[in-house]
Structure 1
């Protein structure tokens, strides 16, 4: 199982200086990948998790960090398709893949926040079918010399988009979501699946099996797919009774990694943004960075 690390993008510790520190350290320690996530808005009453109260843009952040790294892969988990134009995203991600030297992983999802749907003018109507067309538009623009798409939701006249991404045929697409339809779509259409911050890690093997079954049913090789877990790590000084996976002491968290690999996860990225002691605007940013350094050292690949 490959190990990645999430960039500081939420709360007080998400400064350019801290981002550069974390990603350079992660690359030096041999981590496989770096990850961001998308949150556009938060309700005026701040009723959501503090992790969502102040979040940097994921693609702009990755473009910035591409200039400060040279080997480590760069991923977003996830961008929400209903809020985006597939044509604009195809251009942005092709450019980012070029700037990063072919290191980009594109995670896509459907989103869940009513406020963001309303504010972006997005529709929930047939959003699964809309997502499948979205993927088709991305692929034709990334791959084909002359791109075209005549669908129900998107129409692209015969046109050319240059330059193309470095990765051929295109950057890997990872689909998020835990509903049966989302897992089925990942198995049929994507290069892999990525779990969310609220995933049931004790039962994540069931989701992996569902995606693999969908791939098999579509005539695809399920063993060729990637299964990426957002590891919402919460380090605590004392051993906790009835703890959730990836919460507890560093030794306990390290022991959880093998269980997730055994469930079929091929890559896990450590995400401290979802720890309320770190990803909050109220957290001490320097204490958060010290915690990140401890975790980076303790969970580094090969340790």
Structure 2
């Protein structure tokens, strides 16, 4: 199986010399709202692969409050692992990522088996993004504990890697216990699929630098100061004796295409030209990868949105930001 093409959007300005010259570009699969149909998933995935995008991404939401309040993009969300397994059968090269799976809701043994299988059926194309979760409803419904989530995350990642790399597994920790057993088959990727962590507070960022293969920003991240988050991760990695330059920095680009020239415009909201300039700026702030995510646009990611109009917008954005275009 051929590796994905690594085309990129070029950075501009003084920051490019400091952080590097390019950012790899991915795209989010339709997983939220009325446009998240099997037909649309296949259409977007295949077109993204054909246009040279590096990756496809999904996100997780289990429940939505009966009284609302989370935002339209969370009302109706497809399962991320099932969606990527489905799309693995309809693509050949493009990488498949979760951004993110909330680790407190499942056991590391169950997730290790599911993701190992996904890596196998996709031919070694999986990127594993994990988060700590934030919805009180989901914690209550899954029986998860919000206490000591940071420590739990560190142990969770350690158990995942052990299950994926060691022939005989045995673990006894503060949160998880695995008796002396074997887990087969192992993932295709060696030593294992990349494990990325989310989070935005300083301690979460430092945890990324100490234990993960990279960082994934959230949909609410302040993109004007994202370089500070990158710097925090890199400093923690160096202090832990790790190579900061080996880490990946993935930005969820919550894109909203709108008329140009808004006085209070936020990054990645506006005309295609304005958004294109924003992408180049993010490369200059240390971001190595960015995926364009239309699911977080309320005009697209809502169950009440027009699915045909959403797909037309996706085609427009896919064409406009095609790597190398």
Matching of residue 35 in structure 1 with residue 57 in structure 2: yes
Residues 79-117 of structure 1: CA distance to partner in whole angstroms, max 9, x if unpaired? 001111100000000000000000000000101111111
- Which residues in structure 2 correspond to 1:256-295 (within 5 Å)? 256-295=278-317
Residues 201-257 of structure 1: CA distance to partner in whole angstroms, max 9, x if unpaired? 000000000000000000000000000000000001332112100000000000111
Q: 1:172 and 1:135 mapped to 2: Cα distance?
A: 11
Matching of residue 19 in structure 1 with residue 55 in structure 2: no
2:208 to 162, 173, 186: 186
Pairwise CA RMSD of aligned residues? 0.6
The residue number in structure 2 matching 1:73 is: 95
The residue number in structure 2 matching 1:215 is: 237
Q: 1:204 and 1:103 mapped to 2: Cα distance?
A: 27
- Which residues in structure 2 correspond to 1:1-303 (within 5 Å)? 1-303=23-325
Gaps of 5+ in 2: 1-22
SS of equivalent to 1:20: helix
Q: Is the 8 A contact 2:260 2:274 kept in 1?
A: no
- TM-score normalised per structure 1: 0.99
Aligned-pair CA distance for 1:130: 1.1
- TM-score normalised per structure 2: 0.93
Q: Give aligned pairs, total.
A: 303
Q: Is the 8 A contact 2:103 2:130 kept in 1?
A: yes
Q: 2:215 and 2:148 mapped to 1: Cα distance?
A: 21
